[in-house]
Amino acid sequence: MILARLLEMADYRGRIFLALLAALAVLVPIANLLVPPDSFLHIGTGTVVLLGKYLTYAILALALDLVWGYCGILSLGHGAFFALGGYAMGMYLMRQIGPRGVYGHPILPDFMVFLNFTELPVTWWGFDNFLYAMLMVVLAPGLLAFVFGWLAFRSRVTGVYLSIITQALTFALLLAFFRNDMGFGGNNGLTDFKDILGFNVQAQSTRVVLFLATLLTLAAAYIFARFMVTSSFGKVLIAIRDAESRVRFLGYRVEHYKLAVFVVSAVLAGIAGALYVPQVGIINPSEFSPTNSIEAVVWVAIGGRGTLVGAALGAFVVNVLKSFFTTGSLAAYWLFVLGGLFVLVTIALPKGILGALEKLAAKRGTRS
């Protein structure tokens, strides 16, 4: 009943998108678990993991589209929220290792033993509890976004200045997480995970479940985002994007709206990061790298800004291309391809891939 009401909120492109996700949710596990490995229909576990990784990027892109596409806040630091969610999950996975580390310490993760830590830092307390860790996945990026956004939006920092300070934010975190004494594994980050909720993270079935969890989260994130942008709240966001001062002189507190959407978006990005880490098997400070955040913006631009579906599509398409170009002899050219794509899309397809597809479909429609 409620699900039907929620589905009604999706426009036709949303329905196609959700149908595609549903198809993936059925076909990928079957092709991986039931189809025999020698069949050409078989999907290897490596591919399932890769697809799962793309889907976490799609959630990140969706989050970014909420603030950029709908409210005009160009965040060049969303990778920071993604990475924070990832670290929270990584800390849980580290504590799950227990005494099975190389040094065999009952509580301390290997890197802490190696760095002569004598006891668990306060920041790590409670992370052996899955629910607490999940709470942190939401709270850490959410709180950072709240404090940062409260200061920035209240001082009316907008446009390129805001973009620059979001970039500075993620860069500062990059430097901080590199430090060994921060207690987050320094340069090497967190890795060598063993279990999640008692299941081996390397096992094929766990991989498939993680893939399905990511898929479900993406669908839920889409429906939630769609609910937000189609409500009056979303109308105010678009109004802020188009004419911020008009909204303010109509009596709206622009900073409250910006803060609300920024925090929601950061939390979504954090959840994406938390799903990314167990699938990829590592989280290190390079996830805070400013280029990651910029790449996410490029996905959204290429897919089609302000459409939600386009953002997810862009993340998927660009990363499929990236996987293709960064293996083998083409690796050196990837950044040129990405830059070229960005320029091409900006000039030729101002509404992104999705906009171009819809234009094409409309043309077909009028002809027939």
Answer whether 128's CB lies under 8 Å from 95's CB. Answer: yes
Contacts 24+ apart (CB under 8 A), 178-184: 178/285, 180/115, 183/112, 183/117, 183/121, 183/123, 183/124, 184/87, 184/91, 184/123
CA dist., res. 301 & res. 311, Å (int): 7
Please provide the DSSP assignment of 48-82 as one string.
HHHHHHHHHHHHHHHHHHHHHTTT----S-HHHHH
Site string for other proteins, 234-273 (x = CB under 8 A): -xx-xx-xxx-xxxxxxxxxx-xx--x-------------
* Among 232, 329, 366, 368, contact with other proteins (rule: CB under 8 A): 232
Shortest Cβ 241–other proteins spacing (Å): 8
**329 part of the interface to other proteins, by CB under 8 A:** no
Instruction: Look at residue 310 and give its three-state secondary structure.
Output: helix
Residue 15 binds other proteins (CB under 8 A)? no
Question: In the complex, what is the shortest distance from the CB of residue 258 to other proteins, in angstroms, rounded to a whole number?
Answer: 9
Q: How far is the CB of 356 from other proteins (least distance, A)?
A: 19
- Select 247 or 301, whichever has its Cβ closest to other proteins: 247
Q: Which of 231, 323, 327, 346 binds other proteins (CB under 8 A)?
A: 231
Asked whether 284 and 84 are in contact (CB, 8 A), the reply is no
Task: Say how far apart CA 312 and CA 97 lie, in whole Å.
Answer: 33
- Angle between the N-to-C axes of helices 204-230 and 45-68, in degrees from 0 to 180, rounded to the nearest 10: 20
Residue 259 C-beta: closest distance to other proteins, Å: 8
- Contacts to other proteins from residues 180-199, by CB under 8 A: none
Find the binding residues for other proteins in span 22-51 (CB under 8 A): none
CB 65 within 8 A of CB 308: yes
| CB count in 10 Å sphere of residue 348 | 8
Distance CA 89, CA 92 (A): 5
Contacts with other proteins: how many residues (CB under 8 A)?
A: 24
Is residue 9 a contact point for other proteins (CB under 8 A)? no
Binding of residue 156 to other proteins (CB under 8 A): no
Nearest CB to other proteins, comparing residues 138 and 239 = 239
Please state the closest distance from residue 228 (CB atom) to other proteins, in A.
7
Instruction: Please say which residue, 210 or 263, places its beta carbon nearer to other proteins.
Output: 263
Could you tell me the smallest distance in angstroms from the CB atom of residue 299 to other proteins?
Answer: 22
Contacts of 226 (CB under 8 A, 6+ apart): 9, 10, 14, 308
Radius of gyration of the chain (CA): 21
Cα separation of 324 and 306, whole Å? 27
- Given the structure tokens 């620059």, which residue do they identify? 164
* Options 196, 228, 308, 353; binder of other proteins; rule CB under 8 A: 228
Residue 233 found at the interface with other proteins (CB under 8 A): yes
Minimum distance of other proteins from residue 229's CB (angstroms): 11
The one segment of 40-48, 176-184, 205-213, 229-237 that binds other proteins by CB under 8 A? 229-237
Q: How far is the CB of 191 from other proteins (least distance, A)?
A: 39
- Closest distance of CB 238 from other proteins, Å: 6
Question: How far is it, in rounded angstroms, from Cα 48 to Cα 7?
Answer: 27
> Smaller CB distance to other proteins: residue 117 or 146?
146
Residue nearer to other proteins on the CB measure, 182 or 260 = 260
- Alpha-carbon distance values, 91 to 128, 193, 295 (Å): 8, 10, 26
Interface with other proteins (CB under 8 A): 228, 231-233, 235-236, 238-239, 241-243, 245-254, 256-257, 260
